Structure 1
């Protein structure tokens, strides 16, 4: 968009005994509010952009303690959305495939973030706080629950549509009771975080 500079017009009125010039009043010197806007991002050589920058939040809301058991419950879907994808002949650049080869799948692995701890099997993320609840993550494509310790198997793979410029990698988070606590879930706030790593093949 091109900027245009508008000329300032000064109106002068001729009076019988003199000349008066009228100009716009100066802006007030008082400040009526200010703030800081932070800008950040990451430049990669990946074949797709991650919509929204990659970070997301899953909200379970308010749940009665009696309704959280050892069986996965209260599913909450979440997605990693890809956009501006160029997958045809995009191998080697930001992927694990040879050059000039189509990229046909994405692999998403999860590992422990800054909040919570991992259970013995590596597939339950114990939430912080005193509620005795854990979180499990399922790959909606494979239908399998995933390890949250950075382990990669074929359960982590998601086929991609080579001709599609935008697509979603879909998952579901579930609540479970913490077996180490004897399954006793207590009221209170809980939180946990996991870091995902995205690769292309």
Structure 2
């Protein structure tokens, strides 16, 4: 029962961060949304609101990583398309009311510790995407750059989508990003493939 209350509080904090930002995620609102009694915060989170918020964005980061499970070896463009599709689904499902909870903390937190937590989540996303891009055929340096660019593009596009209540910014970002990514991974696969002449010599 206690664990259930704790989980509800984390999910409530995550939902409020995504829809109302850090200032809109007050302890009173979190408790109300979670249906948790007064006193629950310091019982379950001795570090107070900062601990609760930190665990909320860590959960958000983990959920995003879970979406990428099973994509090892997939084409980089496929990986990127799925990552962007997850943001598109969130925007549509919430009627453009929700965005990135990690970004919400990044732009509003005064606490260096919370900023460190947010930075760690972005770093985890970058490392995982770069890993998948390398497995899909990109050069190591290009994979790291593509991963960072994808996150920056998606975060900015989601903000613009919410402001305009339209998916157009995300669609444009996807169009601009995926074509060069497909070209880069295709070029590397061709470069690694032996020519027919070389293959013939190796077989003799």
Fold agreement, TM-score > 0.5:
no
Higher helix share: 2
Higher strand share: 1
TM-score, length-normalised on structure 1?
Answer: 0.26
Higher RCO structure (Cα 8 Å, ≥6 apart): 1
